[in-house]
Amino acid sequence: MAEQVDLTTIPISPDGEKGADSGPATGKLITVFHDKDNFNVKHPLMNKWTLWFTKPSSGKGDNWNDLLKEVITFNSVEEFWGIYNNIAPVSDLAMKSDYHLFKEGVRPEWEDPQNKHGGKWSYQFKDKRGVDINDLWLHTMMAAIGETLEDEEDGEVMGVVVNVRKAFFRIGVWTRTIGKSIPGRGDGDVAGGKGRSVDKGQKILLSIGKRFKEILKLPPNESVEFSGHTDSAHSGSSRAKAKLTV
């Protein structure tokens, strides 16, 4: 696995030092929203997040683990923008590439222990020329790290993904459950489905789906679909039959 970039090596200003008009000496606080290079303030996120990248397969039986690369982990708004401003936009990625933004410690794989009982909301944009995929992906990531896709106690959202394919762009939101309690877990904590009724779990998933649809700016006649990872694995495709639609 590729070594992560040490965020402390990223200079606060272009010449590697704080500018003369910012920082403790002047008492002037500068956020990344004021200056994307010379900020001296960090706003912590509720969770740490890891950006992953899937490079295109060579078509010669590449191993998934060789294609999936861990890029960097961050835990502040400023670090997010610093990373975002220095990676290729989705529109510039090669076909069969993916970006994955997941909570730290969760691999963007169906088999991960924190994903295996879950599923995802997703939508395919088939008119690639008619969609601003960079803006939609940015707002999806911001909703994830800003924890606005769900309520604080829900504990469902694991990560978000964007897929670049020849015929479409696809954006997805991965959840910990499919609206049911996770087998083998106690009832002491309802986050992530533990101890929830099926009805409550379904309502939470539907709420996430509705918020996701709003972020994608979809009209009422278009639907986002939810499918379970287990169903996808059994069907051999990421496009398993939808369990829910919004």
Domain segments of the chain as ranges? 47-245
pLDDT for 125 equals 97
Rounded to an integer, the average pLDDT of 117-132 is 95
CATH topology of domain 47-245: RNA Cap, Translation Initiation Factor Eif4e (3.30.760)
Query: Do residues 215 and 140 touch, judged by C-beta distance below 8 A?
Result: yes
Examine the pLDDT at 237 and tell me if it is beyond 80. no
Nearest residue to 161 via CA among 214, 221, 238, 86: 238
Return the structure tokens found at 148.
């606005």
Residue 73 scores a pLDDT above 70: yes
Stretch among 16-30, 86-100, 119-133, 186-200 having the lowest mean pLDDT:
16-30
Of 33-47, 114-128, 139-153, give the lowest mean pLDDT range: 33-47
Stretch among 18-22, 23-27, 177-181 having the lowest mean pLDDT: 18-22
- The yes-or-no verdict on residue 218 having pLDDT over 80 is yes
Both ends of the chain: CA-CA distance in Å? Answer: 38
pLDDT band for 207, please (50, 70, 90 cuts). Answer: very high
- Rounded to 10 degrees, what is the CA torsion of 140, 141, 145, 150? 20
The CA distance from 227 to 11, in Å, is 43
Closest-CA residue to 10 (of 86, 89, 109): 86
CA distance 193 to 180: 6
The region of weakest confidence among 33-47, 74-88, 101-115 is 33-47
Q: Which of 229, 3, 241, 243 is nearest to 114 (CA)?
A: 229
What pLDDT score was predicted for residue 1?
40
Which has more pLDDT, 167 or 233? 167
Q: What is the mean pLDDT of the chain?
A: 83
The answer on pLDDT for 156 being more than 80 is yes
Mean pLDDT check: name the lowest of 63-67, 154-158, 202-206, 227-231.
63-67
**DSSP H/E element including 184:** none
Rounded CA gap, 243 and 21, in Å? 56
What the block records as the tokens of 218 is: 């979809």
Q: Please report, for residues 48, 178, 231, the alpha-carbon distance to residue 196 in angstroms, rounded to integers and kept in the order given.
A: 26, 12, 22
Query: What is the phi/psi pair of residue 63, to 5°?
Result: -75, 135
Residue 12 pLDDT: 34
The yes-or-no verdict on residue 80 having pLDDT over 90 is: yes
Reported as a pLDDT band with limits 50, 70 and 90, residue 64 is confident
- Determine the 3-state secondary structure of 234 from DSSP: helix
Model confidence at 187: pLDDT above 70: no
- State the pLDDT confidence band at 190, using cuts at 50, 70 and 90: low
User: Between vectors from CA 149 to CA 161 and to CA 157, what angle results, nearest 5°?
Assistant: 55
